[in-house]
Amino acid sequence: MLLFVCGMKIPAMMRRRHDTLLRAACLLLFSAGCLMIFAAPDSITKLNQLSGIPNLAAPVVYATTTAFSGATLLLIVNWRPAPAEQTQQWSRMCVMAYGLCILALGALFWVGKTPVTQPTLFDAYYATTPYIREMIVTYLVAQGMAMATASALCWRWSREVHGSLRAGLRILAPAYLIIVCYDALRLTAVAARWTGHNLDFLIDRVTPPLAAPACILGALGFVLPLTGPRIAETTRAIHQLWLLAPLWRALQDISTPGAIRAPLPWWRTPPAVLLTARKTALYDSILALTPYCDPTAREAAYCQARRQGDDEDRAAVTADAAMILIAREQQRTTPGPPPHATHSWTRRPPDLIPLSRSFASPVVRELNSRFVLAESSPS
């Protein structure tokens, strides 16, 4: 899946050749996908068999791990806001340092000797072998330094931002620290071999379980800033649709000549689009009711709301809601233009959310019922 996503990014990378952030992201995806493949025990065994070189999988996995570490650091360096010159300088240093590390891994393996195949305990078995020992330390130190630096940068940056980006950075920081612990434990086992002790269980049993949480947290930390704003927007849209439900139920059947309402099935329409369409339809309905809106009815509703203890703003919204309900009833019962059409409502379009909340208020229903009864009673 990582390689598939990386492949999807290649056309964009070809178009934006100078986008260092995009190139770092593609390198990260590519190296992570290769690492998932090459680091599996079955893959290690198969690669050794196909090549005919004992333990050739070791430098391949270590080089891929080092490339992944460098790509991670490169991505964080280009992701965080910083002066362009500083970012370019850090990027060049990162590419040069980890490129040299990868070359050093290949050279050290070439001059070293690893006659006995070790698919799972290579680090411990060859911890005292000349050149191979240096190769093992090189990749562990390179990865540990990259992850520690990336964790520090993420934590420092998270203090300056908010929302899903901050949450993602706060998740990435401990994810990288887990990898630092992974490297430290393996280095401890290797160093123990130098002093004649045996702590191979750190490599065999302790460090493998650390890979899963580091991968999960790392993926979550990168995905959350990308999907967080969209999830938040969708959540806000759904919440506003729910708040607008009373107003929509009251006005959805209002005749709106000249306004086109295209049916939007809720199960396949994005909530943000559905919210925009619903607001537009509600404003069209209110506009259609404007000739029927009686300022006298609104003033009476406003005074009644004030007498019941509402402040000025809430009383105004309550009066608008009552007047719109009365206008709805008059549109239904009056076949032609209303007699008071010259007294059309000229206030600015109301805020739909408070208006919808007022529609669910018993005060509005009481005012509407009282006014309708007064209109229908014989004079």
Beta carbons of 189 and 203 less than 8 angstroms apart: yes
Q: Which of 276, 375, 274 is nearest to 325 (CA)?
A: 375
Confidence (pLDDT) at 67: 94
Q: Which of 147, 145, 154, 156 is nearest to 173 (CA)?
A: 154
265 Rama sector, left if φ>0, alpha if ψ -120 to 50, beta otherwise: beta
Q: How far apart are CA 32 and CA 27, in angstroms?
A: 8
Q: List, for the chain, all residue ranges whose pLDDT scores fall below the cut of 70.
A: 258-262, 266, 335-350, 360, 363, 367-368, 370-379
Confidence (pLDDT) at 73: 93
Q: How far apart are CA 366 and CA 319, in angstroms?
A: 12
Confidence (pLDDT) at 260: 62
Confidence (pLDDT) at 179: 94
Beta carbons of 184 and 148 less than 8 angstroms apart: no
Confidence (pLDDT) at 259: 61
Confidence (pLDDT) at 379: 46
Q: How far apart are CA 106 and CA 138, in angstroms?
A: 11
Model pTM above 0.85:
no
Confidence (pLDDT) at 10: 85
Q: How many CB atoms lie within 10 A of CB 3?
A: 14
